[in-house]
Chains A and B, each alone.
Chain A
């Protein structure tokens, strides 16, 4: 039982971590709350379904194609809709949520309000202490952890990563140092969308796919990002696994757990913020302390 719970927490945590890192990255660099972020997660899950069952591709090519397509859609929607009104923060908020609605409605028209499933990349189970763990679960967790490591390496070790972090710290000075800030913003949006897409593609065989599947992860991701400190990658990852563990335990322990899991996660966020207003790993600026 314990192994199954740990597995569940790791899977949920992996999805949340990937989504939260992307959300946090785009907030940290472009200072915008991208409410369409989890809609890309939903799009990729539908991409997996479409390319395997309707277009007849194998699971692995389908995964690559759907991640690429979603990443392209993300970058294109940034370039077309968000880039030109970037200065108006509330307008960006509204446009991103309208975009999420557009994606949801298109999926609803294209695939209907049915629950869909995608085929697993690997079949078979692994018996450990009398508990069955499918290879697909292990593979999904592996892909997610590998992606997180790659993103960390990209941000910490490459020139592009340094440029992204410089832009996050101070866009004006970064521009003076010869960094093309608009390009960096586009690149950040692409990376963030790609992260959401990888999360969607790896989890599609395990979770059900439906047009409204972006809403509850969106709230969860916002909770996690605030809990860990906005703009902090480390905070997002740790926050994701904390929230995922809490969620798994609540669903397992309480009878009405499915209703209450959101409430408990939100309660934890409120408590953390009341004690530490900048989140667990956020940076407090002296002038922002009031």
Chain B
């Protein structure tokens, strides 16, 4: 048993450089508090982890099914406000408000789905763009319940100590990313969603013709995307201790797109890379506050001009090569496939 696990580990993790890097990365963020306990760095990384969940859920919904969602902040904001109101008005603790917030994300995801199902391409993008802005106007119109411009403040912290908060964010992030990665894995024998979502993106009509109920799978994608964005939103409300209008704004919706496309769309690890690169970068640029957005935008343009598929995908293509015969991933410097011996050139 243990020997088999070790063998799987050797074949499926060590042999593929991309996965090895991912493993090293997760180990690093787990042992990070042993290196530094600086509260400022930990705070930035907590938000980075939360936004990783958010960006990956955007990639899951929009990248994998091709339903480009310009209003992903809707799920985030609804969950943040749900968690915030439950905590503020009813005194419910974070361990309960976060799952309820995620559930609110699912419900709102399924609800937005119904107008969205009839639309495709840019029409869908622009309708989804509309929803968070409509909700934002409603929130600003009823400041008594929602706190208006200032939001609901003074929420319970995730935990008293910063390090515990950090570990909560890391663990939730790791589990969420792994679940979404497994759900979108087209080669998985366990779950079929991955390959079906790929099929829907590539050719919806062909997918329907092969007997896939594309409507159900689109609703499922919206529900799962809403669920994880909801977790991120509720976590954010408790980490920030405010559920404010910023959780619904256009900037946040576009940020999800920026992070994911920068890292590489349709890849799950792309958004992880994108957030871990761009969010701390933008925070770090605080020292030159006046031109930080200029530099930020210039970096995005420069990277996308040379790697239009995203930086993480570009790196993967440099270090991995797919065997033309058995479709197994190999390191780029091998001359022949490690499983079937076919020449890689």
On A, residues with C-beta under 8 Å from B are 27, 33, 81, 84-85, 87-88, 90-91, 93-95, 97-99, 101-102, 104-106, 109, 215, 219, 222-223, 226, 230, 256, 259-260, 262-263, 266-267, 269-270, 273-274, 277-279, 287-288, 290
Contacts and interface: CB of A to CB of B under 8 A. Distances in A.
B141 A259 contact: yes
Top 7 closest pairs, chain A to chain B, by CB: A263-B137, A266-B130, A88-B308, A101-B297, A91-B308, A105-B294, A98-B297
B123 to A, nearest CB: 6
B138 interface: yes
B250 A219 contact: yes
Give the secondary structure class of B's interface: helix
A200 B90 CA distance: 50
Given A256-B141, A287-B205, A274 B118 contact: yes
Interface string B231-243: 0000000000000
A91 B118 contact: no
Given A219-B129, A267-B134, A101 B293 contact: yes
A201 B343 CA distance: 62
A97 B141 CA distance: 29
B304 interface: yes
B66 to A, nearest CB: 10
Given A102-B294, A215-B250, A256-B141, A91 B126 contact: no
Interface stretch (B38-46, B81-89, B257-265, B322-330): B257-265
Contacts of A81: 301, 305
Given A102-B298, A223-B130, A94 B258 contact: yes
A94 B120 contact: no
Given A105-B294, A274-B118, A290-B204, 15 more contacts: A90-B257, A91-B304, A93-B261, A98-B258, A101-B293, A102-B297, A259-B140, A263-B137, A266-B133, A270-B134, A273-B118, A273-B119, A277-B119, A277-B120, A287-B205
Given A98-B301, A277-B118, A88 B293 contact: no
B127 interface: yes
B68 interface: yes
Contacts of A260: 137, 141
Chain B interface residue count: which class?
35 or more
8 contacts: A81-B301, A84-B305, A105-B297, A226-B127, A259-B137, A273-B115, A287-B205, A290-B205
A85 B304 CA distance: 8
B133 A95 contact: no
B127 A273 contact: yes
Interface in B121-154: 121-123, 125-127, 129-131, 133-134, 136-138, 140-141
Contact of B133 (A104, A106, A109, A263): A263
B163 to A, nearest CB: 35
Give the secondary structure class of A's interface: helix
Interface string B246-270: 0000100010011001100100000
B133 A226 contact: no
A269 B128 CA distance: 11
A123 B293 CA distance: 39
A85 B308 contact: yes
Contact of B122 (A33, A87, A223, A267): A33
A226 B122 contact: yes
A266 B309 CA distance: 32
A267 B136 CA distance: 13
Given A90-B265, A93-B261, A99 B301 contact: yes
A109 B294 contact: yes
B160 interface: no
Interface hub of B133, B136, B137, B265 (most chain A Cβ within 10 A): B137
B257 to A, nearest CB: 7
B68 A230 contact: no
Contact of A273 (B123, B265, B297, B300): B123
A279 B133 CA distance: 20
Nearest to B262: A94
Given A90-B261, A102-B297, A259-B137, A85 B115 contact: no
B30 interface: no
Contacts of A274: 115, 118
Contact of A269 (B127, B141, B309): B127
A16 B126 CA distance: 17
